[in-house]
Amino acid sequence: WPAKKTMPVGLVLTAVLAYAYWEVAPRRIAAASIQGLIIAGELLYIVFGALFLLFMLKHSGAVAAIRDGFRRISPDRRIQAIIVAWTFGAFMEGAAGFGTPAAVAGPLLVILGFPPMAAVVAALTIQSTPVSFGAVGTPILIGVNGGLKDQPLVEKFLTEPGSPESYDALLRAIAGDVALVHGVIGTLIPLFVVCLLTRFFGANRSWREGLAVWRFALFAGLAFTIPYMLLGVFLGPEFPSLLGGLIALGVTVTAARRGWFQPKEPWDFPPDSDWAAEWSGRIPMREADQRDTTPISLFAAWLPYLMVGVLLVVTRVVPSVAAWIAAAEIKWPSILGTDISGAINVPKLPGTVFLVVSLFCIPLYRMNRRNVRAAIGEASSALFGAALAIVFAVPMVRIFINSNVNAADLASMPQVLAAATAQWAGQAWPALAAVIGAMGAFVAGSNTISNMTFALFQFDVALSTGLPPTMIVALQAVGGAAGNMICVHNVVAAAATVGLLGQEGTVIRRTLIPTAYYLVAAGAIGMAVCFWAR
């Protein structure tokens, strides 16, 4: 079933389970649903902004200039995917996080001529390594920190011999472990991206055609993960993804221009007339749709995406701007009299940046009213198809998470699942710690929320089993990042930005492959490190 059918059913079942078994008050279920609708509104706003920018570029003729410019860098679709999804996507994750890379990289790949499903799979696959330090370190600084700070269990641990000298030192140690684990695993993610493309979207359905570009893929992986690890270990959680992505982008574009590490024969998708029906979205981007009224330079064509990157960094890194934006937050501190709160900050949402840049396209490209109206209409039409799934998916998730206050005196639904897993795993917990993080992200759609929910639980399990808590919490964060590749509302939102509707299950089956690799590798590293630490 597509998400627009499964999500309403899932919402009803979750609400019934919360009421009947967990004995959650109806008012709390309603409050959690309202909180979910607020978050869903934010997601739809981001999706609309990304779609509007995409259609403005389409109707201005900038799409053709971007496509031609990329062909001059490399005609090989595998190289293009690595540059756009891996390096540019990592930079966008570091700047904004919360699904922004998929909202930017997915449409950009469609502009270049990728099948929409291939674009979504590539954009979601890189939603792994950079995620733990996305939005200038939010999953660590807000997620892990929110779960551990001022907790008696943590404070007691810090007084023991051999423990970090302070809570800040503990948080830095966790961030360093996260960077090292991600760095080892994430180096191969570009290779997974290209192999998924050639196996599922190539004319020959071949893994080998993806492996043929292993040298460039490994080079691009190291171009990101080496600075990423160094920044994470020595500078902390704010800049590994942001600066690592920027460094990797410059290095890989230079390498591609000079033909370094590239196979002799470029690879391309089959003609779009041969694409399977499920590959295609509702956003036609063929050459016939791109009528240039005036020539557009390559710099002018890329300028909107450069502006998106700059504005996202400025609004999050420059203290005075970030403070001004933070003050614009609208809060609902006690929804329906419960402890569930809601908040929305329109200036901070990436959708606002997308809209501002989209409007800037009007004078930049001298667009007429007809083209602008066409862009608005097509963006609205594409958004409508995704709205149903998102509007039901997010409230379902919030009921699941907010089930912790109940008359049955049970922990929340995700915590009950995690505790049962920990009891079963015992000393093998390092092999499964990342799975709990992934489960949290799969449900919540956020590494930050997963970390906030499970960081203390992971810390407690580590201490009770004699395992190093910094590594176990780090595995939680790594798993939470990997879970973003298969999170339902991330997949729905990413698919919506390229007009791909009703194929969410197929997308998840594709991205489940790199997710499984990530979790198995994290478990193996966790077991090795914890065994060595003893």
DSSP letter at 88 equals I
C-alpha span between 371 and 96 (Å, rounded) = 29
| Model pLDDT for residues 43-95, shown as the tens digit of each residue | 888 878 888 888 898 888 887 788 788 888 899 999 999 999 999 999 888 87
* 8 Å CB contact between 90 and 241: yes
| Model pLDDT for residues 320-368, shown as the tens digit of each residue | 998 999 999 999 999 999 999 999 999 988 889 989 999 999 999 999 9
The arithmetic mean of pLDDT across residues 442-453, rounded, is 84
Q: What is the pLDDT of residue 180?
A: 98
User: What pTM value is reported for the model?
Assistant: 0.84
Tell me the two tokens of residue 73: 């860098």
DSSP letter at 203 equals T
Q: What share of the chain is helix, strand, coil (3-state, %, to 5)?
A: 75, 0, 20
DSSP letter at 83 equals I
Residue 391 backbone dihedrals phi, psi, to 5 degrees: -65, -30
DSSP letter at 151 equals -
DSSP letters spanning 105-146? HHHHHHHTT--HHHHHHHHHHTSSTTGGGHHHHHIIIIIIHH
* 8 Å CB contact between 52 and 440: no
| Model pLDDT for residues 112-128, shown as the tens digit of each residue | 899 999 999 999 999 99
Confidence of residue 285 (pLDDT cuts 50, 70, 90): low
On the CB side of 484, CA atoms within 13 Å amount to 34
Greater confidence (445 vs 477) lies with 477
Q: What is the pLDDT of residue 122?
A: 98
Least confident stretch, 16-30, 42-56, 230-244, 332-346: 42-56
C-alpha span between 219 and 240 (Å, rounded) = 18
Tell me the two tokens of residue 178: 């996260």
Confidence of residue 291 (pLDDT cuts 50, 70, 90): very low
Taking 70 as the threshold, does the pLDDT of residue 293 lie above it? no
Q: What is the pLDDT of residue 185?
A: 98
Q: What is the pLDDT of residue 70?
A: 80
Q: What is the pLDDT of residue 1?
A: 62
* 8 Å CB contact between 224 and 105: no
Residue 481 identity (one-letter amino acid): A
* 8 Å CB contact between 519 and 20: no
| Model pLDDT for residues 46-59, shown as the tens digit of each residue | 878 888 888 898 88
| Model pLDDT for residues 457-485, shown as the tens digit of each residue | 999 899 888 899 999 999 999 999 999 99
Taking 60 as the threshold, does the pLDDT of residue 137 lie above it? yes
Q: What is the pLDDT of residue 290?
A: 46
Picking from 527, 528, 433, 530, the residue whose alpha carbon sits closest to that of residue 483 is: 433
Picking from 467, 443, 295, 306, the residue whose alpha carbon sits closest to that of residue 365 is: 295
Query: How many residues are listed for the chain in this entry?
Result: 534
SS3 280: coil
Mean model confidence pLDDT for the chain: 89
* 206-227 exposure pattern, b = at least 16 Cβ within 10 A, e = fewer: eeebbebbbebbebbbbbbbeb
Residue 165 identity (one-letter amino acid): E
**CA 273 centroid distance within chain:** 31
